[in-house]
Each structure stands twice: as structure tokens, then as C-alpha cells.
């Protein structure tokens, strides 16, 4: 589904990714794990087109999308939930969702389906996103990404900085999404247990390089923890 091949990328003179290769199978989940500053978010930004790789390529279903703008990648079936519960703070919850649904023939149904995943958002539809709690904003961010009915979802630390009661709900929703088929996920996560429950394949990133990779599943959790503790 997604192939990130030998991508080198960074900011100004700093190189963050040193030839990273990661693949996500069709309808499968790939997890990228690593400590802060390892380059996980940079990898997702490069995959989504927010950061132009200095070398290497990004392929979606075999098509080279390395030079496409992010909105063109969305049109090809990619969606992205960035780190930090990002929203449009001065737009209401409903407007945050309608914004993505505008112009789509199935927009209303897509908004309704997204709200079915997070029913709490229905009661907050008139509230500005900037006034929501972190957990509510993350639910909104995931709901917004799903409105485009993506084939590939990039999730950047969906449970980071969220109150524990909402973490479980978000984890369950993500797991349910990955199990219902038709959706591939590239998950960046620090929470090893959750990542390994979701992923069929994992990659450990360290200082911009893949230092370990293998089959996912809860059985690999110990291996991953060992790789991360080095």
C-alpha cells in the first residue's frame, strides 16, 4: 500500500532521516516506534508531503507520490492525524468536520459515520474546537481524518498527552478501524503495548535510522522493548 524508500529528510541544515525504508501492507498496520527525537513525526510528515525528502521516494499503490502536494495525496486516499491533537481552534466541532466534507457527494453520511465512532462529539458540535479538552480534540482529529474515507491513515501518537479514560476509548477505536478491513494504517506510537496489539509489522527508529524491524503482534512486544531500551 505505502512504500517509503530510503528517504532522507530534515529541516534546514539538519538531517533527521538518514535513508529510512518503511512499508505498510494493504489493509495492514505498520507501527513505527522510537524515543523522542528519533524522527518518527518527521517520517510521517515526509510521507504526507508536508516535508519534501532530499532523496528517496514515497509510493502509494505503486504510484510515485514523492512530489505531490498533501491535498493531492488526500485525493488519492491518504489521511493524516498529526501529533498534538491539532484542530482548527476557532471553528466549531461541526465546522471542523464539515470543512472536510464540503464538496464530497457522500459528505453528510461520512460526517455521521465519523460521529458514530465518537458520539461524545455530537453534543459538542457547536463548541469551538479550541475550547475542547485534549481527548475531545484528538477524537475530533481522528473523526476529521476519516471523513475522506481514506485507504491509508497516518496516525502520529494518537494517545499522547490524553487523559487515561479517553486513551482506552481511542485505542479501541483505532483497533476496531484496523480490524474492519479496507484501511491500512501507519501508526507512530510510544505506547509499545498498544502499537504491538495493532501492528502486523513494526519498525524501531533511532536517530533517523531503522535499527530494528519485524513481524508485529503482542509476541514481539518484548523484542521491541529490548530494542527501545538500547
Partner 1 sequence: MTVILNQSFTGISIGAVLLLIALGLTLTFGQMGVINMAHGEFIMAGAYTTYVLQKSISSAGASLLVALPLAFLVAGAMGALLELLLIRRLYTRPLDTLLVTWGVSLMLQQLARDVFGAPNVQARAPDLLTGNISVGGGMTFANSRLFILGLALLCVLGLTLILRLTPLGRRIRAVVQNRDLAEVSGIATERVDRTTFFIGSGLAGVAGVALTLVGPIGPTMGTNYIVDAFLVVVVGGIGQLKGSVITAFALGVLQSVLEYSTTVSVAKVVVLVAIVAFLQWRPQGLYTLRTRSLA
**Applying CB under 8 A, which residues contact partner 1?**
48, 50, 69-71, 74-75, 79-80, 82, 84-91, 95, 98-100, 102-103, 128, 130-134, 137, 144-145, 148
Closest of 143, 135, 178 to residue 160, by C-alpha:
135
Q: Which is nearer to partner 1, 49 or 216 (CB)?
A: 49
Q: Which is nearer to partner 1, 22 or 146 (CB)?
A: 146
Q: Distance (Å, rounded) from C-alpha 133 to C-alpha 163?
A: 9
Q: How far is the CB of 170 from partner 1 (least distance, A)?
A: 16
Q: Which is nearer to partner 1, 37 or 70 (CB)?
A: 70
Q: Which is nearer to partner 1, 99 or 226 (CB)?
A: 99
Sheet containing 14-24, strands listed edge to edge, beginning at the edge strand earlier in sequence: 14-24, 2-11, 55-60, 63-64
Q: How far is the CB of 54 from partner 1 (least distance, A)?
A: 19
The string of DSSP codes covering 81-141 is E-SS----TTSBHHHHHHHHHTT-TTHHHHHHHHHHH-GGGGGGTTSBGGGS-HHHHHHHH
Residue 146, burial from CB neighbour count under 10 angstroms (0-12, 13-18, 19+): buried
Q: How far is the CB of 210 from partner 1 (least distance, A)?
A: 24
Q: How far is the CB of 158 from partner 1 (least distance, A)?
A: 14
Q: Which is nearer to partner 1, 42 or 85 (CB)?
A: 85
SS3 5: strand
Q: How far is the CB of 85 from partner 1 (least distance, A)?
A: 6
Amino acid at each position: 500500500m505505502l512504500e517509503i524508500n530510503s528517504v532522507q529528510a530534515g529541516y534546514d541544515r539538519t538531517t533527521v532521516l538518514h535513508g529510512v525504508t518503511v512499508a505498510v501492507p494493504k489493509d495492514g498496520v505498520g507501527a513505527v516506534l522510537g524515543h523522542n527525537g528519533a524522527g518518527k513525526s518527521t517520517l510521517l510528515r515526509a510521507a504526507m508531503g508536508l516535508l519534501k525528502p532530499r532523496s528517496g521516494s514515497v509510493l502509494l499503490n505503486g504510484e510515485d507520490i514523492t512530489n505531490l502536494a498533501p491535498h493531492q495525496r488526500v485525493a488519492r486516499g491518504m489521511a493524516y492525524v498529526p501529533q498534538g491533537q491539532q484542530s482548527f481552534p476557532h471553528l466549531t466541532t461541526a465546522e471542523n468536520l464539515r470543512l472536510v466534507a464540503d464538496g464530497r457527494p457522500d459528505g453528510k453520511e461520512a460526517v455521521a459515520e465519523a460521529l458514530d465512532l465518537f458520539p461524545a462529539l455530537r453534543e459538542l458540535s457547536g463548541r469551538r474546537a479550541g475550547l475542547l479538552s485534549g481527548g475531545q480534540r484528538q477524537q475530533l482529529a481522528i473523526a476529521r481524518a476519516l471523513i475522506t474515507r481514506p485507504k491509508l491513515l497516518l496516525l502520529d501518537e494518537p494517545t499522547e498527552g490524553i487523559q487515561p479514560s479517553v486513551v482506552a476509548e481511542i485505542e479501541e477505536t483505532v483497533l476496531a478501524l484496523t480490524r474492519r478491513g479496507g484501511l491500512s494504517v501507519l501508526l507512530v506510537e510510544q505506547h509499545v503495548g498498544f502499537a504491538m496489539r495493532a501492528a502486523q509489522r513494526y519498525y524501531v527508529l533511532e536517530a533517523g535510522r531503522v535499527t530494528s524491524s519485524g513481524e508485529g503482534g503482542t509476541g514481539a512486544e518484548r523484542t521491541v522493548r529490548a530494542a527501545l531500551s538500547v
